[in-house]
Copies of this chain bind each other. A is one copy, B any other.
């Protein structure tokens, strides 16, 4: 029984690693689609979000099945259900990458990001990739040190997000309303991606150590 339980957990873990890698790759491609107006990358991100959603449902089914067959006690149950919360955050990160890709596609063949903000979005893409990489590693190796320090990466994302508005509302802005609106929404997608990643990181730490970090932000 105990062996079967462990084997189930290993399977759930494998699905979560797939999800984390998929949403990392999705945001990397979406950022490229955004900055290079790359239609293929944008369409690929949108098409592959269905796979992320399918993985999410697999995690749900696996967890329900595991709970029903093994009837875990309270502390184990909380642990197992944490996998559901983690999967939900990863699924949402996939959605946000898809939103970035859709924005890129809407402006294609133009570039949705106006020139004065290109560098900021490049950096947001770098931070998003770093964060998602830490989560994937933490799930697959159970080394949660990096996942426990995601707040700092999130702070960096928040600074980049704030700087977008400083630029857009500054006197030198001459890119117009539509570019500002696109950039504000895009900025929010990256910022929310990082927020969900921080949540996901907390869930990973709890999954691996059984100890809760501070409660989630917001």
Interface set of A (CB-CB < 8 Å, partner B): 64-65, 67-68, 71, 73-74, 77-78, 81, 84, 88, 95, 165, 168-169, 173, 176-178, 180-181, 184-185, 188, 218
Residues of A contacting B: mostly = helix
Name 21 interchain pairs, CB-CB below 8 A, sorted by A: A64-B77, A64-B78, A65-B74, A67-B67, A67-B77, A68-B74, A68-B77, A71-B71, A81-B81, A81-B84, A84-B84, A95-B218, A165-B181, A168-B177, A176-B177, A177-B177, A180-B180, A180-B181, A185-B185, A185-B188, A188-B188
Among candidates B95, B177, B188, residue contacting A180 with C-beta atoms closer than 8 Å: B177
User: Would A178 and B188 count as touching, CB distance under 8 A?
Assistant: no
Measured between beta carbons, the chain B residues less than 8 angstroms from A165 are 181
Interface pairs A-B: 4 shortest CB-CB: A68-B74, A71-B71, A181-B184, A177-B180
A168-B177, A181-B165, A184-B181 given; A64·B74 CB < 8 A: yes
| Centre residue among A68, A78, A173, A188 by max chain B CB count within 10 A | A68
Measured between beta carbons, the chain B residues less than 8 angstroms from A177 are 168-169, 173, 176-177, 180
Measured between beta carbons, the chain B residues less than 8 angstroms from A77 are 64, 67-68
Measured between beta carbons, the chain B residues less than 8 angstroms from A168 are 177-178, 181
Chain B residue at minimum C-beta to C-beta distance from A178? B169
Measured between beta carbons, the chain B residues less than 8 angstroms from A178 are 168-169
Measured between beta carbons, the chain B residues less than 8 angstroms from A78 are 64
Nearest CB of B to A82, in Å: 11
A95–B196 Cα distance when bound, in Å, is 14
Nearest CB of B to A9, in Å: 17
Chain B residue at minimum C-beta to C-beta distance from A69? B74
Nearest CB of B to A182, in Å: 9
Among candidates B64, B173, B176, B184, residue contacting A81 with C-beta atoms closer than 8 Å: B64
Measured between beta carbons, the chain B residues less than 8 angstroms from A84 are 81, 84
Measured between beta carbons, the chain B residues less than 8 angstroms from A184 are 181, 184-185
Chain B residue at minimum C-beta to C-beta distance from A218? B95
Nearest CB of B to A38, in Å: 23
